Amino acid sequence: MPGGTLLLGFVAAALLVLLIPGPGVLYVVARSVGQGYRAGLASALGLSLGALAHVAAAAAGLSAILLTSATAFGVVKALGAGYLIYLGIRTLFADRPTVSMEAATPLSMYHLLRDGVVVSVFNPKIAVFFLAFLPQFIDPSLGSVPQQVFLLGLLYAALAFMTDSTYALLAGSVRHWLGGRVMQEPLPRYVSGGLYLGLGAYAALADRRH
C-alpha cells in the first residue's frame, strides 16, 4: 500500500470524485427519498459491495478491456442503463399505496443490497475511474502491483460507502421533514422514478472518452 503523500493524494482524488453527485449518489438519494434513510444506507452498502467486482477486475487488468473495446464498454453501459430505466419505470407505475408511506411494506434488505450491487457492477464509470486514477498511485518498488491495486480499491469502496451514506442521511432527513400527507402522495414515487430515469439516461449517454 502506498504511503505518505501518495496515499493522501489518492484519498483526495477519490473523495473529489465521490462527493460530486453522480450515478451512485442519485441512486442512493432516490432510495432514501422513496423509503427512508435506512434504505439509502443499505443501497449505499450494495454499491460499495458491487464496487469490489471492479476492484477485482482492475487488479486482474480487466478494466482495460472496457476502455480499449468499444463493444465491451457498450454492452456494460447498455445493461446498466437499461436496468436503471427499468427501476424508474417500475417505480413510476407502481400501484399507489392505500396507507401512509411509513406503513407500506418496505423492500427487504436483500433486495436493497442486490439492486445496489447490480447498479454498481454495471456502472462503467467506476471501472474507468480505477483504470484512470489507480496507476497514478501505484509504486512498483513497494511490491506486487495487483495487490496495491486491490488495497487501494478496497479503500475507495470504503470511502464510497462513507460519502454515499452521508447523502442517504441527508435525503432521508428531507423525507422525514416533509412527512405527513406529502409523503402519502405520489411525490416520493415521482421523485424516485424521475431520478432513476435520469440516472439511466446519464449512463446511456456517457461518453467513453470520459
**pLDDT over threshold 70, residue 8:** yes
Rounded to an integer, the average pLDDT of 160-182 is 78
**pLDDT over threshold 90, residue 45:** yes
Q: State the alpha helices, DSSP H only, in the chain.
A: 4-19, 23-35, 37-60, 63-68, 70-92, 109-121, 124-133, 145-178, 187-205
- Report which of residues 1 and 115 the model is more confident about: 115
**pLDDT over threshold 90, residue 202:** no
Rounded to an integer, the average pLDDT of 97-116 is 64
**pLDDT over threshold 90, residue 159:** yes
**pLDDT computed for residue 188 by the predictor:** 59
Report the alpha-carbon angle 197-76-196, nearest 5.
15
- Report which of residues 106 and 148 the model is more confident about: 148
pTM over 0.85: no
Rounded to an integer, the average pLDDT of 137-146 is 75
Q: What is the DSSP letter of 14?
A: H
**pLDDT computed for residue 98 by the predictor:** 42
**pLDDT computed for residue 26 by the predictor:** 82
pLDDT of 174-198, one tens digit each? 776 765 444 455 665 677 677 778 7
Residue written as grid cell 479503500: 155
Report the alpha-carbon angle 55-75-107, nearest 5.
70
